[in-house]
Amino acid sequence: MSDRQKTRARPNPRRAFAETYGTVLASGIERRSVLKGFLALTAGAVAMPYLGRTASAAEVSTLTFAELTRVRDREDHWPTGYSRQILARWGDSLFADSPAFDPATLDGKAAERQFGYNNDFTFFMPLPQGSASSEHGLMLVSHEYATPFLMFPGLTADDYREKLTDDQIRAVMASVGLSVFEVKKTNGQWEIVRDGQYNRRIHMGTEMVLSGPAAGDDRLKTKADPTGKTVFGTISNCNGGITPWGTLLSGEEGSMDVFAGDFTTLPNQELVERQGWDEEDNDIYGAGRIEPRFRFEEEPNEWMRFDWVVEIDPLDPTAKPVKRTALGRFTHEGAQCAVAPDGRVVVFMGDDDDFEYLYRFVTRDPWNPTDRAANRDLLDNGTLSLAKFESDGTMRWLPLVAGEGPLTAEAGFATQADVTLNTRAAADLLGATPMDAPEGFVVHPKTGKLYVAMTENEDRLPTGEGDEGEQVNAANPRGPNPHGHLLELVPPGGPDKADFAADSFKWDVFVLCGNPAVAEDGAMFHPATSANGWFTDPDNLSVDPSGRLWVATDGPPPEGIADALFVMDTEGEGRALPKLFYVAPIGSECCSPTFTPDGKTVFISIQHPGELRFEDDEDAASIADAGTSWPDFKQGQPARPALIVLSRDDSAVVGS
Ligand code: FEO
Ligand code: CA
Ligand code: CA
Ligand code: CA
């Protein structure tokens, strides 16, 4: 979700948190002080001569492309010697029978056959599955949210709720969710294979299964589903991950915006309390007008059937997606998978709100590499835990298990269903480390290290103010933190036998974002970072086949640049030395860079182009107001979120 959208939709949930759990938290977390050595390092980095006499970027970085200049534009920008292609735009045909895109007549039936809106998670899966094809594959894409007044002509942010037609609402409900479709490279150009056997759209009406500890719980039963095990639709599909057996995990991140009505009248207020809801900003699609289940008073349990991790089998278009409740219920950003040396699968997840937590799920059983079907329900059994960072450079994973520690029946956690339905409240009791809005989480396949992006947290307080959970800590060392940072987590076992399931890891700050030339930013990058290479607001993280780390930002970006994509080495002399690779059109973020196995092609999702006005970076309120109409640039027509492809004209590896 764009940071702007998030701010509108979800005010700081910390308010309720502080009132309800502040006392518990204050007694549960030891008093920390920011590491003196760490501060010295930060100050040292800032004090270093900008592009000083230390080695130059050209001397130490493995990246040789000509770095872009910071730019803020209606168009996108990429390096010299590269070509950019638009592969799929909102409304493009995914099937042989898809109707042509026309926002003036778009309805639900048409949208179900087209590429959806606001593509976020993106993954290139070679075909056949398990092969290393770099010219043929499946694109797995999530469509996080929709902004009706930027999609249909004649609407504004103020009047769209009244003016939306039923057909338009149905179109919106079909334009979010996920797309799976075949792509192929022919004569150097990528194209959608419109009759691909796996092509599929998933949306707010797709039938799904609820599985795991909360499935069948009374609080998940509705009039349409007395079993509590069947759900229609998925909402707010943010980032995700891929399991070792080739299924897609999609994080539902904050579905409450879609519901209408007064949530203060809902039963189970103990579950409502930690949602961070804002009454003014719900019902953003008008879905309750079409389907009563999206009105709180009609179906008081429907909302709890969202904000899970959904598993989708891209190789079986008839398979129902499954919401895996064992992985907890919160504002799921992504779900990055790794395999422990004993074969158990580990899923790393961030809860993207200020002062929320980093989570991990470890399966009970090892995965089966030779029988794909044997892994079908692997994610239903295992241990959910969350991260507590210590100031000595160690961190521990604290298990969230009903009946263990403070998770007692008296505290409201008699069963694992209680824990997974109210994960944030259970997490509060364990005294884990509240983070600065954790988003991207990536496992480096060559080193076994993990990188985590904290986007920002303006409400983080300096030491001595507020309660301890709100104050700076070693892993979130700046208060306020308007620029974000990246942490590096190191499991024991080394690169070849990294034990992602171990109880204890080591950790370090990888970069502190901001402008290294501005002392008060307190930024920490490699001293040779150029005036174009530093960034703020890191969101999605990827590692390419060469082992370089790619960071996509989700602003508001600093003055003079739109959100952008940066790339850097993680090891060697060029460690933490980012270079500016791609700049998105104004108002958009670039999400989920994903690579062909040969590293020669990168696919990038461009989400919410034009969401800001060009004049002043304020929220655009209509198509006419939008900062860009990228990529079509047709007068009076909407900007279109799109999936782009970048490759080098000399066919060498991207980024090198
Ligand atoms: Fe969907 Fe947290 O971005
Ligand atoms: Ca974001
Ligand atoms: Ca994100
Ligand atoms: Ca931001």
- Which protein residues touch ligand 1 with a CB less than 6 Å away? 1, 120, 144, 238, 253, 333, 352, 439
Atom of ligand 1 minimally distant from the CA of 1: 1
Ion ligand 4 neighbours (CB, 5 A) are 3, 456, 537
Strand order in the sheet with 309-312: 230-232, 207-211, 322-324, 309-312, 248-252, 237-242
Question: How many whole angstroms from 537 Cα to the centroid of ligand 4?
Answer: 5
Ligand 1 atom nearest the C-alpha of 437 is: 2
Instruction: Give the helix/strand (H/E) hosting 287.
Output: helix 287-290
> Distance of CA 77 to CAs 255, 462, 601, 611, Å?
33, 38, 16, 18
Q: Which pLDDT score, from 0 to 100, does residue 58 have? A: 85
Predicted pLDDT at 54:
66
CA of 256 from ligand 1 middle (Å) equals 14
CB 476 within 8 A of CB 454: yes
Which ligand sits nearest to residue 252's alpha carbon? Answer: 1
Nearest CA to ligand 1 atom 3: 1
pTM of the model: 0.93
Residues with CB under 5 A from ligand 2 (ion): 3, 539, 554
Question: Which is the closest atom of ligand 1 to the Cα of 239?
Answer: 1
User: Which candidate, 634, 626, 608, places its Cα nearest to that of 157?
Assistant: 626
Tokens for 462? 């300096």
The DSSP annotation for 392-423 comes to TSEEEEEE--TTSTT--TTTT-SSHHHHHHTH
Q: Which ligand is nearest to the CA of 118?
A: 1
Q: Where are the beta strands (DSSP E) in 204-295?
A: 207-211, 230-232, 237-242, 248-252
151: CA distance to ligand 1 center in Å? 20
pLDDT at 3: 60
Look at residue 40 in the predicted model and tell me its pLDDT: 30
Residue 589 CA to ligand 3 center (angstroms) comes to 9
Closest atom of ligand 1 relative to the 238 alpha carbon = 1
| Strand partners of residue 567 | 550, 579
Per DSSP, 109 falls in state H
Positions in the chain whose pLDDT score sits under 50: 7-52
Q: What was the pLDDT predicted at 282?
A: 86
How does pLDDT run across 545-585, given as a tens digit for each residue? 999 999 999 998 999 999 999 999 999 999 999 999 999 99
Please name the residue whose Cα sits nearest to atom 1 of ligand 1.
1
265: CA distance to ligand 1 center in Å? 28
- CA 255/CA 257 separation, integer angstroms: 6
Distance 611 CA to ligand 4 centre (A): 14
Return all residues near 259 (Cβ < 8 A) that are at least 6 apart. 282, 283, 287, 288, 294, 295, 296, 302, 303
Domain ranges of the chain: 3-648
pLDDT of residue 281: 67
Torsion of CA 509, 443, 606, 576, to 10 degrees: 40
Task: Tell me how far the alpha carbon of residue 586 lies from the centroid of ligand 4, in angstroms.
Answer: 14
